[in-house]
């Protein structure tokens, strides 16, 4: 995956603010708006990410606690798609996800701000979180099984998850899994992770997304939160 974070150095100064690796909060950006072009991200007037395309994401950006003005602009232009105020607290991690349709269709363009829990899982277990950010998909059920196991007779681990909703963290034993996302109330598969290999200390966020331009076939982004 292409990482487009501009603050990979130990300390970067943007618009008079020091963004340091040792700062108290961390924020990463995910582009999940299927019809939006690549974007640049500005924080308090300074560019911190550039040319971030659909289905890509940044690493965590460390910054002091506070409230920041964040602007999402079409790459290489001064066209602002979204401006918002983002409060962050010391010693917390966040994931900001650009969602919805930018071209005027509903649901419209928005930003989901999730508070992340990157504390280590219990011994022998992993943590997995699911976010529904596919604007063209209905509410969904999520199944987690061993690889290629039939869903016949299985109950979903999450039910009726609507667009712009995120689950809590699911704690599961280390092993091999397959996650499948189905239209709520059915076993009609919309998204299939195929084989997922896990190991100790792993934390992942699974993000459901539209196809580029919007609608099916749907897919997912697997964010490496920890390990």
Mean pLDDT per segment of 10 residues, for the chain of length 227 residues?
A: 35 41 79 98 97 98 94 97 95 97 96 97 97 97 97 96 97 96 96 96 97 97 96
What predicted TM-score, i.e. pTM, was given to this entire model? 0.89
DSSP state of 154: P
Query: What order of strands is seen across the sheet that includes strand 158-161?
Result: 158-161, 140-145, 176-183, 189-197
Cα–Cα distance for residue pair 227/224, rounded to 1 Å? 7
Q: Which residues pair with 14 in a beta bridge?
A: 17
Residue 5 has a pLDDT of 34
Identify the sign of the CA torsion 180, 182, 184, 185: negative
Residue 16 has a pLDDT of 41
Residue 24 has a pLDDT of 81
Domains in the chain with CATH codes: 11-116 (2.60.40.1120), 125-226 (2.60.40)
Residue identified by tokens 């501009």 is 6
Contact 29, 96 (CB under 8 A): yes
């Amino acid at each position: 995956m292409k990482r487009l974070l501009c603050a990979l150095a130990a300390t970067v100064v943007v618009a008079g603010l020091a963004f340091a690796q040792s700062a108290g909060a961390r924020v990463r950006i995910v582009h999940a708006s299927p019809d939006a072009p690549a974007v640049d991200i500005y924080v308090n007037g300074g560019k911190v990410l550039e040319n971030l395309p659909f289905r890509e994401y940044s690493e965590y950006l460390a910054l002091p606690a506070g409230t920041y003005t964040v602007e999402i602009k079409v790459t290489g232009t001064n066209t602002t798609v979204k401006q918002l105020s983002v409060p962050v607290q010391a010693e917390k991690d966040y994931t900001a996800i650009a969602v919805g349709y930018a071209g005027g269709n509903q649901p419209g363009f928005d930003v989901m701000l999730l508070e992340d829990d990157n504390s280590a899982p219990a011994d022998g277990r992993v943590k997995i979180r699911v976010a529904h950010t596919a604007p063209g998909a209905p509410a969904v059920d999520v199944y987690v099984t061993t690889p290629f196991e039939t869903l016949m007779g299985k109950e979903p681990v999450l039910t009726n998850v609507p667009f712009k909703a995120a689950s809590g963290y699911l704690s599961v034993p280390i092993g091999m899994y397959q996650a499948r996302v189905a239209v709520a109330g059915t076993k009609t598969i919309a998204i299939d992770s195929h084989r997922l290999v896990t190991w100790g200390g792993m934390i992942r966020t699974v993000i459901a997304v539209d196809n580029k331009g919007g609608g099916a076939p749907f897919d997912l982004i697997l964010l490496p939160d920890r390990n």
